[in-house]
Structure 1
Amino acid sequence: MKVYLILVNYNGAKLTEECIDSIHKSKYDSQYEVHTVVVDNGSKVDEAEILKQKYEDVIFLRSEENLGFAGGNNLGIKQALSEGADYVLLINNDTILDTSMLEELMKNAKPDIVLTSKILYYSKPDMIWCEGGTIDWKKGNSYNGKMGDKDVHNTEKYYCEFASGCCMMIPREIINKIGMLQDDYFMYCEDTEYCLRLKQAGYQIMVVPKAVLYHKVSASSGGEDSPFSTYYITRNRLRLVKEHNELFDFSALMFSLISRYIRMFQFAFYSSKNSKAIYYAIRDFKVGKNGKVSYPKLGI
């Protein structure tokens, strides 16, 4: 069985190094063939070339422009499939793998099921950041499962509705049938959108709690309250609810819009950039503007 790990690097060579080192320390049965693909996603300097000097066994790809989380991962997925991958494992570059994580995922792998792990806070390893997740069909939100929970010792496998793109193991067969991530989401909600397509195609997502990953939360994106994150989360959440309206309750799109307008007014009192980011996100959603945008005054 050939498994390809995909890491997307954007001005984060140090984080990527630490992640690769943890992959190299992983212990798994020799029947598994494991490869690592690092996509340097338009970093200011060619960090792929720098990292290549240290890791001869890693496949490095370079995009001259930032393709976003979705586009960067898709570049790596295409490379993995061209080399005969049976499974691709999307892993955030700001994570550290437990030594047994790969073994636990691989021994539970099946060609018709997507797998995800238990993800703990790197700085608080006694607390869960995400273990599976749910989708609120009335409000249009997806939620990390057990976030903040300190019950980190559960080892029972179970099915869930949502798997974070931070750790998602996808069989080749599923990619062949439903495709890759949607490039023009650029950042955020692309993992939720993929989970919706999985559901529509009749596939399931399984959580393997014995597989443990440690996440340096938002270390690579600058935090989830930045105008950058606020813009893409807002626009893409509205888009996915509209595109998959047959799955959501009729109230989901209206709730999403109203709650974003309320948030926009709240931000106006203490963060004008975030308030404007929501305004632009709603405006762009309404006119169908997707992909990467540029609003320099907002830092986007």
Structure 2
Amino acid sequence: MIYIITPVFNRKDFTKNYLSALSRQTSKNFKIIIVDDGSSDGTSEMIEEEFPEVLLLKEKGDLWWAEATNIGIKRAISLGAKYVMTLNDDTLPFPDFIEKMNYWLERKPSALLGALAVDNATGNALFAGEILNWNNEISEFALDKVDKEFRNGIHEINIFPGRGFLIPTSVFEDIGFYDSRNFPQTMADLDFSIRATNFGYKTYCNYDAKIKIFHEESGGMKLLNEKSWKNYYEHLFGMKGGANLRWFTIFVFKNAPKRHLFQYWFKGMVRRVGGYLLQWLRGK
């Protein structure tokens, strides 16, 4: 049995469509835990009325993604969960999503499995995790390294976000939960996957288990797409900033081998500070 953990906040329509997609799964071998962090748009009321099978946890509104997810995971473990999946409400799982996850779960019961993200509008594959190589101080998108004819089955990676990530609960016993103190919003999931890899767990992207995503709807993408000095600042320092310099620095000093620490940190800082400006100058 997989327990799906999803934090939500004031996105009632997204949450409804997401839960409707899960209700149409070909496999029913899962339970859903929604952590509503103080929504004021009727999200909780909608869930209670239309999806009574969902375990709804109501919080006060002072959490971000990482701690809200931790709360859901801890409840799942208290209920006896052996596997949890972190999944966002701005996704639409394919009807056979759980079925395809279970297929590889049976064959790799100790591994962490990520879902292949495809664009909701075009159906094109967008993201399949990353491969971070400390030796050359770069992180590569795994999708770029797999030809289209081989985009099936599982492929090993070492970084994956919380968007469709299946995790054995033994991992939490070994390495702890998401680091909500240092990474309340972004990078908590990346830090977690690297810690799991460093401990010895294998991580794969399951190309057979697909979710549709609304690529342009994330807070980080909006900051990138709507260029302004205010958004540039938020991009580098804000809670939803995909290039948050403080969190990136903590991530590197927590996880990088000492011999590669400074080089990886320096290159990453240059890309984060300069990348936004370069795109802006090019009119992107």
CA shift for structure 1 position 99: 0.8
CA contact (8 A) 1:7 1:39 kept: yes
Classify the secondary structure of the residue corresponding to 2:17. helix
| Structure 2 residue 131 is the aligned partner of structure 1 residue 134 | yes
Normalised to the residue count of structure 2, the TM-score between the two structures is: 0.83
Gaps of 5+ in 2: 225-230
Partners of 1:162 and 1:192 within 8 A in 2:
yes
Which residue does 1:239 correspond to in 2? 250
Output the CA distance in 1 between the equivalents of 2:85 and 2:259: 28
Cα distance between partner residues in 2 of 1:268 and 1:3: 43
Is contact 2:134–2:256 with CA below 8 Å preserved after alignment? no
CA deviation vs aligned residue, 1:81-134 (integer Å, no higher than 9, x gap):
111111111111100011111011112214421001211011110x11111322
Contact 1:101 1:213 in 2 (8 A): yes
The answer to whether the 8 Å contact 2:47/2:54 transfers is no
Identity of aligned residues (%): 18
Q: Which residue of 2 aligns with 1:16?
A: 15
Q: Which amino acid aligns with 2:79?
A: E
Q: 1:199 aligns with which of 193, 197, 200?
A: 197
Identify the residue that residue 249 of structure 1 maps to in structure 2: 260
Of 107-116 and 18-27, deviating more is: 107-116
Q: Which has the higher helix share?
A: 2
Over 3 Å counting, the alpha-carbon distance change for 1:22 and 1:229 in structure 2 is farther
Equivalent residue in structure 1 for 2:214, among 212, 216, 219: 216
Partner of 1:57: 53
Report the Cα offset of residue 74 of structure 1: 0.9
Matched residue type, 1:157 = I
Distance 2:43 2:94 in 1: 25
**41-50 or 232-241, larger mean C-alpha shift:** 41-50
Count of residue pairs the alignment pairs up = 266
Q: Which residue of 2 aligns with 1:154?
A: 151
1:46 Cα shift?
5.5
* Secondary structure of 1:74 counterpart: helix
CA contact (8 A) 2:156 2:203 kept: yes
2:185 matches 1:173: no
Checking the alignment, whether the CA contact within 8 Å between 2:5 and 2:35 is kept in structure 1 is yes
Contact 2:44 2:56 in 1 (8 A): yes
CA distance in 1, matches of 2:48, 2:74: 20
Deviates more, 1:127-136 or 1:111-120: 127-136
Residues 1:42 and 2:41 aligned together: no
SS in 1 for 2:85: strand
Contact 2:91 2:213 (8 Å CA) reproduced:
yes
Letter in 2 for 1:61: L
CA RMSD of aligned residues (A): 2.9
Question: What is the deviation of 1:80?
Answer: 0.9
User: 1:247-268 deviations in whole A, cap 9, x for unaligned?
Assistant: 7724111223344444587699
Are 1:92 and 1:167, in contact at CA under 8 Å, matched by a contact in 2?
yes
Distance in 1, matches of 2:216 and 2:71, equals 22
Structure 2 counterpart SS, 1:182: coil
Residue 97 of structure 1 corresponds to: 93
Separation in 2, partners of 1:8, 1:266: 34
Residue type of the alignment partner of 2:266: M
Preserved CA contact (<8 Å) 2:131 2:142 = yes
